[in-house]
Amino acid sequence: MLPLTIATILERLLFVFLLSLAYGMVRQRMHKPIGFGTYLFVAMGACGLSLVAIILPTENPLPLLSAVVTGIGFLGAGALIKTSDKVVGFTSAASIWIFAIFGLLAGLGNYLLSSAMYATVWVVMAIDKYLENKSIGAYQKKLTLNTTSLVPTVDLEKIFAGREHKLLSIEVNKKEDKMIAVFYVEGTKQELNTLSRELLHQSWFGSCKVE
């Protein structure tokens, strides 16, 4: 392999810097748990290490490069956030890992594969954003419904007619004549707002919370 020139080193670092910055800033504006700085540091660090692997007179640089991918796994685990009923942040954790590989490939000079991987990341993020806007799958909203009287489950189910939903739990308080029902609901913000307005017209409705 030919020795790297200063221009080539700077070119690869700049390539990684600009593309990582673009992705990181979008994630920052989406208020994700991992901001642009993390993506920059991970990708630039991986790129720098791959450049070192090329520059150093070693016969097998693979152990040096594989250590990056392994080490990034621990950083990605820190992006996971556990709530009372689920764990979120898997997309952020996985994106950190793939940006480390992106930086490695760019540092090794494989622009075709690194660009293809980078483009794939944007496609996945676009799909993920669509699912988030629709509250589909892991992005379902949790609706806690408090009633002022005991209500048959079938009447509660009627409220969600035509909407994807799942009943998680029901707590019945016979002494106080009220119930607490928890659902997972899919839908856009506008659809959930419409659902909230429909609940106001129910005689048994007390209060609700969407999170």
Verify that 32 and 125 share a domain, yes or no. Answer: yes
pLDDT at position 87 is 60
| Structural domain ending residue among the three candidates 119, 134, 149 | 134
* Parent domain of 82: 6-134
Verify that 23 and 118 share a domain, yes or no. Answer: yes
Q: Is residue 179 part of a domain?
A: yes
Distance of alpha carbon 101 from alpha carbon 107, whole angstroms: 10
Which range scores top for mean pLDDT: 53-67, 72-86, 121-135? 121-135
Q: What is the pLDDT of residues 145-201, one digit of tens each?
A: 999 999 888 888 888 877 888 888 889 988 888 999 998 888 888 888 888 888 888
Q: Measured between alpha carbons, how far apart are the two ends of the chain, in Å?
A: 55
Higher pLDDT, 97 or 119: 119
Verify that 46 and 117 share a domain, yes or no. Answer: yes
Verify that 79 and 146 share a domain, yes or no. Answer: no
Verify that 41 and 101 share a domain, yes or no. Answer: yes
pLDDT at position 83 is 62
Residues facing 169 on adjacent strands? 182
Q: Is residue 1 part of a domain?
A: no
Q: Is residue 103 part of a domain?
A: yes
Please list, residue by residue across 175-185, b when 16 or more beta carbons sit within 10 angstroms of its beta carbon and e when fewer do.
eeebbebbbbb
Verify that 175 and 84 share a domain, yes or no. Answer: no
Question: What is the torsional sign of CA 34, 40, 41, 42?
Answer: positive
Q: Look at the chain and report how many structural domains it folds into.
A: 2
Show the 3-state SS of 30-74: CCCCCCHHHHHHHHHHHHHHHHHHHHCCCCCCHHHHHHHHHHHHH
Q: Is residue 95 part of a domain?
A: yes
Verify that 124 and 142 share a domain, yes or no. Answer: no
pLDDT range class, residue 93, cuts 50, 70, 90: confident
pLDDT range class, residue 16, cuts 50, 70, 90: very high
Verify that 142 and 127 share a domain, yes or no. Answer: no
For the domain that residue 203 is a member of, what is the CATH number? 3.30.70.260
Q: Is residue 172 part of a domain?
A: yes
Mean pLDDT of 115-119: 91
Verify that 181 and 204 share a domain, yes or no. Answer: yes
Q: Is residue 14 part of a domain?
A: yes
| Structural domain ending residue among the three candidates 114, 134, 154 | 134
Mean pLDDT of the chain: 82
pLDDT at position 155 is 84
Verify that 41 and 123 share a domain, yes or no. Answer: yes
Which range scores top for mean pLDDT: 23-37, 87-101, 114-128? 114-128
Question: What strands lie across the sheet with 178-185, from one edge to the other?
Answer: 165-173, 178-185, 141-147, 205-210
Q: Is residue 87 part of a domain?
A: yes
Q: Is residue 169 part of a domain?
A: yes
Residue 118 has pLDDT above 80, yes or no: yes
Mean pLDDT of 17-38: 84
User: What does DSSP say about strands 178-185 and 141-147: parallel, antiparallel, or unpaired?
Assistant: antiparallel
> Between the CA of residue 189 and those of 50, 132, 139, what are the distances in Å?
44, 10, 12
Verify that 114 and 93 share a domain, yes or no. Answer: yes
Higher pLDDT, 72 or 111: 111
| Structural domain ending residue among the three candidates 134, 164, 194 | 134
Verify that 196 and 146 share a domain, yes or no. Answer: yes
Which conformational region is residue 187 in: left (phi greater than 0), alpha (psi within -120 to 50 degrees), or beta?
left
pLDDT range class, residue 99, cuts 50, 70, 90: confident
Nearest Cα to Cα of residue 114 among 103, 122, 124: 103
Distance of alpha carbon 66 from alpha carbon 102, whole angstroms: 13
pLDDT at position 14 is 93
pLDDT at position 119 is 92
